């Protein structure tokens, strides 16, 4: 992981933290607007209050995106995907949520979110999604019905 990428990610989040804005509702507003099918996985209707665990999900996602330790990231990707095992959560839903996090960070950063920030965040999303895809494929392989031995 390039130090400049890590410092770019850290700088983006520090600037957002200094504003005191809670990004969780903003991320979900973006997520449900761009991915309305995700609402069914939350058991809520448009405009309903978010479940208490929704903030935890964003925290875990941010920890995945800011992690610069490969073993930690692999462990987190495994934990995230196994938490949703058998619930119909596909790669597109994960990517959409990640992209909404990036969009909210960009929106709150304004002009300070330039090409370097977009590239760093995009690389982090792609890295996480590559691991999520591996974990989802493994989950599907293990959960696929197999014939009983004769």
User: Which pLDDT score, from 0 to 100, does residue 102 have?
Assistant: 96
What is the CATH topology of the domain spanning 3-44+52-143?
Globin-like (1.10.490)
SS (H, E, C) 87-131: CCCCHHHHHHHHHHHHHHHHHHHHHHCCHHHHHHHHHHHHHHHHH
> Where in the chain are the domains?
3-44+52-143
Q: How far apart are CA 106 and CA 148, in angstroms?
A: 52
Condensed to tens digits (0 to 9), the pLDDT of residues 52-98 reads 888 888 998 898 898 888 888 888 877 777 666 666 667 788 889 99
Return phi, psi of residue 130, to 5°: -60, -40
Q: How far apart are CA 59 and CA 52, in angstroms?
A: 12
Mean pLDDT of the chain: 84
Predicted TM-score of the model (pTM) = 0.84
């Amino acid at each position: 992981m390039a130090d400049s990428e890590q410092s770019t990610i850290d700088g983006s989040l520090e600037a957002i933290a200094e504003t005191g804005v809670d990004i969780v509702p903003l991320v979900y507003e973006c997520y449900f607007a761009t991915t309305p099918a995700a609402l069914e996985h939350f058991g809520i209707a448009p405009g309903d209050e978010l479940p208490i665990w929704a903030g935890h999900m964003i925290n875990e996602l941010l920890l995945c995106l800011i992690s610069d330790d490969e073993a930690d990231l692999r462990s987190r990707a495994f934990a995230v995907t196994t938490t949703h095992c058998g619930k119909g959560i596909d790669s597109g839903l994960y990517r959409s949520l990640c992209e909404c996090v990036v969009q909210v960070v960009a929106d709150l950063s304004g002009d300070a979110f330039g090409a370097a920030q977009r590239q760093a965040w995009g690389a982090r999303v792609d890295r996480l999604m590559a691991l999520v895809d591996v974990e989802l494929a493994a989950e599907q392989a293990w959960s696929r019905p197999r014939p009983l031995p004769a």
